[in-house]
Structure 1
């Protein structure tokens, strides 16, 4: 199964789900560490994925855009990479123009990170300072050179498994040289999974979520109810309950205009189990009942 088919039905948990994808190849693996190469031929839009480990993505050809939970956009083009903390929900968008998306994905087991930190006596970031980043966009000739050498090894049929630990340590050393403070901070927090907060605009753009209550939406988004209400109001400039009612009746109106469902079926489709409550909400918004709206067709 390729990435497009798999991601239509699943949130992509990496690296665990990568082994099932035909357009992703495992180049080396030991314990929790692994190196994968992906080669995507077709557009992949709004692919939600979860990082189960610290990982770096390096793009060889093409480009992809990552959207973080807070709507921060990271465009990774050829020769660029992004280091991602463990425990994040992100969305990936790739639009094929003249070339495939070819990229490397490298995952670091905690034991490799701990050994590296111990070898160089790299201590955690001091308390009171700015918290470490959850992602780091990088472009440097040292990183590019590492992956060019890795590609050469693979193309020449070199077995990377026996030297995987050495290669991962080399890559961590390079990352430290490129961006010392941020990388060290991210490595030191690698055993503390972040709250898996999902991107609200992407999550709520799916009409199927309208059936859920505000409390259920908070759980789906990876937030407490108070955290969800705070983040929601910041992004949408209105309380979630008010937004949910408006979205439900607007979706209901489009279904009424299509004329394929009964009023009771429409109510259930948009999340109302009480038909009277649905009719009242609809009339408050449009000044007419769904049945009156249907008669105008």
Structure 2
């Protein structure tokens, strides 16, 4: 599908840019591409792809611009909206064993026509008011459920994460740059319980453990895998290269670039 004068379009509540998906959202790429990683598998998206990003999942995104642009349509399905929808359109749900962070949707005539109907809003010629936003979100949700009935088990599951193995989860997900509150939520604990149980398991605080674990992995990647500092700091949960270099040198006595003689 080709469009001229592309611009991004977002319907519904804003999605946090952190590496945690707080609400389900529908994503359609107009221009550019994206690779996402949830700690278990990679998901690749190209222009024309449709997918559902699932709430309560940890995901890291790498976006690739095309001709200097990355354009997308995002439509959020927050819990408040979904519960109101369910009151008007009751669905019987059942448990699902699907754990994918992204669910790709096959294009059909209804979805294609829906995206085309948004063109005036993402090319900047029209504005949507709040009432019409909810009408468009409801229209898309009905289309998705009509074509993919099993999505009801994803959208209308309002359970919070249950209590899981804390040590196993942290050793698998320490690279994600999220708050301690998010880590606690993802493991099915209050923040105070998370900190108390973490101390009992690791014999240190979560903040100190996360820093040490990320730095140890960084040293391994630099020394054994011969990676460049610029290639690893973001994937290890550091927000900027200067902070990574500072804490690395403080820990090991040498800068990251000195480990394998690569220049930053």
Question: Partner of 1:60 in structure 2?
Answer: 30
Question: Partner of 2:87 in structure 1?
Answer: 118
Question: Partner of 1:203 in structure 2?
Answer: 175
1:269 Cα offset (Å): 1.4
Structure 2: 5+ residue stretches without partners:
1-6, 188-196, 203-211, 227-246, 254-264
Question: Partner of 1:139 in structure 2?
Answer: 106
1:168 Cα offset (Å): 0.9
1:48 Cα offset (Å): 5.7
Q: Deviations over 1:233-253 (max 9, x none)?
A: xxxxxxxx9998797588689
TM-score scaled to structure 1, two decimals? 0.51
User: 1:266/1:50 Cα in 2 relative to 1: closer, same or farther (>3 Å)?
Assistant: closer
Question: Partner of 1:172 in structure 2?
Answer: 141
Question: Partner of 2:131 in structure 1?
Answer: 162
Q: Deviations over 1:243-297 (max 9, x none)?
A: 987975886899xxxxxxxxxx9885139xxxxxxxxxxxxxxxxxxxxxxxxxx
User: 1:180/1:117 Cα in 2 relative to 1: closer, same or farther (>3 Å)?
Assistant: same
Q: Deviations over 1:49-78 (max 9, x none)?
A: 2212111221111211111121x1111211
User: 1:250/1:67 Cα in 2 relative to 1: closer, same or farther (>3 Å)?
Assistant: closer
1:136 Cα offset (Å): 0.6
2:51·2:103 contact (CA, 8 Å) conserved in 1?
Answer: yes
Partners of 1:143 and 1:199 in 2: how far apart? Answer: 40
Question: Partner of 1:148 in structure 2?
Answer: 116
Root-mean-square deviation over aligned CA pairs: 4.6
TM-score scaled to structure 2, two decimals? 0.56
Structure 1: 5+ residue stretches without partners:
1-23, 37-46, 207-215, 230-240, 255-264, 272-297
User: 1:201/1:166 Cα in 2 relative to 1: closer, same or farther (>3 Å)?
Assistant: closer
1:132·1:185 contact (CA, 8 Å) conserved in 2?
Answer: no
Question: Equivalent of 1:105, from 65, 74, 86?
Answer: 74
Question: Partner of 1:233 in structure 2?
Answer: none
Give 1 or 2 for the bigger CA radius of gyration: 1
Greater per-residue strand proportion:
1
Q: Which SS does the other structure have where 2:140 is aligned? A: helix
Alignment of 1:171-250 (within 5 A): 171-181=140-150, 183-190=151-158, 192=160, 200=172, 203=175, 248=219
Question: Equivalent of 2:13, from 14, 34, 49?
Answer: 34
Partners of 1:118 and 1:269 in 2: how far apart? Answer: 55
Partners of 1:53 and 1:147 in 2: how far apart? Answer: 21
1:53·1:87 contact (CA, 8 Å) conserved in 2?
Answer: yes
1:68·1:199 contact (CA, 8 Å) conserved in 2?
Answer: no
Alignment of 1:85-104 (within 5 A): 85-98=54-67, 100-104=69-73
Q: Does 1:270 find its partner at 2:249?
A: no
